[in-house]
A and B are shown apart, each in its own frame.
Chain A
Amino acid sequence: MVTVENLAFSYKDGPNLQFPDFHLNENEELLVLGASGIGKSTLLHLLCGLLAPKTGKIVIDKVNITEFSQKKLDSFRGQNIGIVFQRPHFIESLNVLDNLRAKIFFSHQKVAYGEIDNLLLQLGIEGLKHKRIKTMSQGQKQRLSIAIALIGAPKLLLADEPTANLDDKNCEIVIDLLKSQAKVYGANLIVITHDTRIKSMFTNKLQL
């Protein structure tokens, strides 16, 4: 469950950004649409506590995260929020498996070893466990970033322009994966995009 109320933010010397209120019940999805520069990424960073709002409330799983200290936010984020970025980034010097382990390590979660295999299998990258990041294709990287976001079963799955660099076919596959995996883990999915291709794939939409 995610509730956003009266949320506002402003960058130093920037205009005031006011975000519409919304509420997601369990298992609900949301597509946030908007043109570039309208504050989509800002909303995503507010939702995961990387930015602190000027006013307003963000309630995730019945807790208001705007009241947390930075350290508490870090640990809450690790345990409850998975983030998929537009251009997937990893720890380059580690292989696929160790990147997953790094997420588990930093989020202080306990994850059964079989869970990693299971997740990689569902995302169709089970054969890449020991592959180095440099040798992976863009599509494989995007799947891995979804795996990393989902490992540890977060309450909220955030995706920031997850399809911007993908062709139509992969675009559809990635959105399907996000939706189906969010369901599997019982997480709320919020996708933020300006990509109109995926508009039809969501019923619950919010225009910024």
Chain B
Amino acid sequence: MVSKPLNTVLSVILLGLSVALLSGAIQFQNVLKNQIHNNIKNIDMVVGAKGSPLQLVLSAVLHIDAPVGNISLAEADKIVRHPMVGSAIPLSYGDNHAGYRIIGTTSDFLEIYNADFEKGSPFNNPFEVVVGFNVAKNLGLQLNNTFQSAHGLMNDGMGDLHGDRFKVVGILKPGNTVLDNLIVTSQESVWLVHEHEEEEANEVPDLETHHDEREITALLLRLKNPFALVQLPRQINENTNLQAVLPKYELDRLYQFTGIGFSTISLIAILIFIVSGLSIFISLFRMVKERRYELALMRTYGASQFNLIVVILIEAVLLGICGYLLGIMMAKFTLIALFGGFASDFKYHIGLPWYAVEDIFIFLFVVILIVLATLVAVLPIFKMNVSKILSDEN
């Protein structure tokens, strides 16, 4: 095959491309599935302002989209006291630090994700924060560091810095959940930041009315029984001006939509895989024809037909391994670039495993493809008339 380097390179690239598409699509899907699974494990239901249910889930559960709106604490309290509700965790958004979202909540929020502390402890007092692993790593935050928050959820330079300083009291271990990318504090902190703002604006604060106006962004709920999963959302959606959504249902739907895309990519990948198999077969077949004299020569050296087939098989499998490694590398770099872009745009870091089990299956498929292509391509060797080949050349 050395004599036809371009053909060989083309075969390897085709094979690499199909491996890259397959491996990339599978890994992307796995990461998505894991993210969704890790993050909704302990959340049965989300309650927030009326609007897009998917947006509510994306913002309050995966913390990537903008919140739908705020709901009043008083109304939220009614839900929390509902007999079917097992536990409820309030979430208050409002600020960010360097693009990472600051969430006002209770320390139960950390427990949803079974968070482990790398250093420090949970927040107890206002303006104490616990930061996720990626936040600490990327901003270089240490225990007892302080920072000012900026208004809004994105670090777009538009939000003014607030006067109050947050202090880091805890840093979490990586858990491959949304917590990795969040700054968590008490609800009071978020309220206080904005009250101070208002105090500065109106000299005379009206504490009485202020209390009633307190708002949160969403409630994460665990329900007492599966029956509640059916009943409670309907009750809330019909009788209040809140919206209740089951994140599992919404994300499954999202996953189904993206699944069509993945199936299409996989189908294209399989087609390219077959084409690359054909291309390798043609290269090998031509090689067997073009190098028939060399093969005949090897027979005169004492090689059996079987030896010749093994020689060609080794060559083909080496090609296959090259294509496979090329593909895995392409998939890896593409995903790293993709997630890197995602991390810088959304401050949402996604861990990528070095190797997926599926990659091993892909490798087996590549080997099977190569072996099949070789076995068909070497058929002429069985019919090879060494004497005739040697005579014809003379």
Contacts and interface: CB of A to CB of B under 8 A. Distances in A.
Interface in B28-64: none
Main secondary structure of the interface of B (DSSP, over half): helix
B387 A78 contact: no
B80 interface: no
Interface residues of B, number: 21
Contacts of B3: 92-93
Interface stretch (B17-25, B194-202, B298-306): B298-306
A87 B394 contact: yes
Contacts of B302: 74-79, 106-108
Nearest to B297: A89
B298 A102 contact: yes
B2 A93 contact: yes
Given A91-B297, A92-B294, A106 B394 contact: no
Given A51-B387, A160-B394, A74 B304 contact: yes
B311 to A, nearest CB: 9
B167 to A, nearest CB: 69
Contact of A103 (B301, B304, B387, B390): B301
B393 interface: yes
B393 A106 contact: no
Contacts of B301: 77-78, 102-103, 106-107, 148
A19 interface: no
A161 B394 contact: yes
A137 B235 CA distance: 94
B391 interface: yes
Contacts of B321: none
A50 B297 contact: no
A148 B297 CA distance: 11
Contact of B300 (A51, A70, A83, A93): A83
Interface residues of A, number: 31
A51 B391 CA distance: 12
A76 B303 CA distance: 10
A86 interface: yes
Interface string A142-165: 000000100000000000110000
Interface in B358-394: 386-387, 390-391, 393-394
B266 to A, nearest CB: 37
Contact of A77 (B2, B300, B391, B393): B300
B209 to A, nearest CB: 88
Interface in A68-101: 70-71, 74-79, 83, 85-87, 89-93
Nearest to A158: B300
A45 B387 contact: yes
Contacts of B391: 41, 45
A77 B298 CA distance: 11
Contacts of A77: 299-302
Nearest to A46: B387
A45 B385 CA distance: 11
Contact of B297 (A51, A71, A86, A90): A90
A48 interface: yes
A78 B299 CA distance: 8
A48 B300 contact: yes
A79 B41 CA distance: 70
B293 interface: yes
Contacts of A103: 301
B307 interface: yes
A106 B295 CA distance: 11
B299 A50 contact: yes
A9 B303 CA distance: 24
A104 B307 CA distance: 13
A106 B387 contact: no
A50 B387 contact: yes
A66 to B, nearest CB: 15
B293 A74 contact: no
A159 B286 CA distance: 30
Interface of B: 2-3, 293-294, 297-307, 386-387, 390-391, 393-394
Closest 6 interchain pairs by CB? A78-B302, A107-B302, A106-B303, A106-B301, A45-B387, A93-B2
19 contacts: A41-B387, A45-B390, A48-B300, A50-B300, A50-B390, A70-B305, A71-B304, A71-B305, A74-B299, A74-B303, A75-B304, A77-B301, A78-B302, A85-B394, A87-B393, A90-B294, A91-B294, A106-B303, A160-B394
